[in-house]
Amino acid sequence: MNRHRAFPWIFPFVVFVLLLAASPHLGLSPRAELALRLIAPAAAAAAFSRRVLDFRCAAPWTSALVGLGVFAAWIAPDLLFPGYRDNVLFQNSIMGTVASSLPPEARADAVALSLRAARAVLVAPVVEELFWRGWLMRWIERNDFEQVPLGRYAGRAFWITAALFAAEHGPYWDVGLVAGAVYNGWLVRTRRLGDLILAHAVTNACLAAFVLGTGRWAFWL
């Protein structure tokens, strides 16, 4: 029964991750691949997660500033210290290498770039916040996760979630850990998933603008 209740929190993220891994092997054009990665997780969330999705914000302006701060923390090490990630601490057989998942031929394609940015800003924040902070952070504390209010602080759940969120970001695990801790803390403060979705969307929007403006494609894993 608990697994059925978890389904709307987990399923869109599962679709998101599976397509990230599988779509490069499907033989699709870059546009078609990016469209699939955008549409399928969005459709999964729309079809199965409407009951649990809540976009209301307790502090929208501050949430946007939190998202901006996470963006700044994300790019700061690489800008301040050129070659910062060129060592085994960040690039190894477990964490992978610093390389963009965006095919080179898509980098001059306005449609492909628009699809990639839309996925980062509109889809990833929703499916990731449903999974990481909507479900996992509560489930670690208690199997019957719906009995745990959103944003209730428990040290073990807080830091395990932050660490796993960091691991998801491979060679950027260090800034992923910072982001995970900040997002977790902001949920503890606001107790609203909508604030987390907004903060995450602002981070990703700023990162998309940075990547498109500078051509530093490696930031788009």
DSSP of 105-155: GGTT-HHHHHHHHHIIIIIHHHHHHIIIIIIIHHHTT-SSGGGSPTT---H
Q: Does residue 39 form part of some domain?
A: no
pLDDT of residue 1: 43
Asked whether residue 47 is domain-assigned, the answer is no
- Does some domain include residue 167? yes
* 11 neighbors 49 (Cβ within 8 angstroms): yes
pLDDT digits (tens, 9 = 90+) for 6-63: 999 999 999 999 999 998 888 999 999 999 999 999 999 999 999 999 999 999 999 9
Does residue 26 fall inside a structural domain?
Answer: no
Rounded to two decimals, the pTM is 0.96
pLDDT tens-digit readout, 154-207: 999 999 999 999 999 999 999 999 999 999 999 999 999 999 999 999 999 999
Alpha carbon distances (Å) from 208 to 26, 71, 90: 25, 10, 22
At 3, the pLDDT band (50, 70, 90 cuts) reads low
- Answer yes or no: is pLDDT of 2 > 60: no
- 107-154 residue pLDDT tens: 999 999 999 999 999 999 999 999 999 999 999 999 999 999 999 999
Residue 35 lies in a domain: no
Domain that includes residue 92, residue range: 54-219
In a domain, 7, yes or no: no
Query: Number of structural domains, the chain?
Result: 1
64-118 confidence digits (pLDDT tens): 999 999 999 999 999 999 999 999 999 999 999 999 989 899 999 999 999 999 9
Q: For residue 42, is it within any domain?
A: no
Instruction: Enumerate residues 6+ apart whose C-beta is below 8 A from 35.
Output: 115
Residue 160 lies in a domain: yes
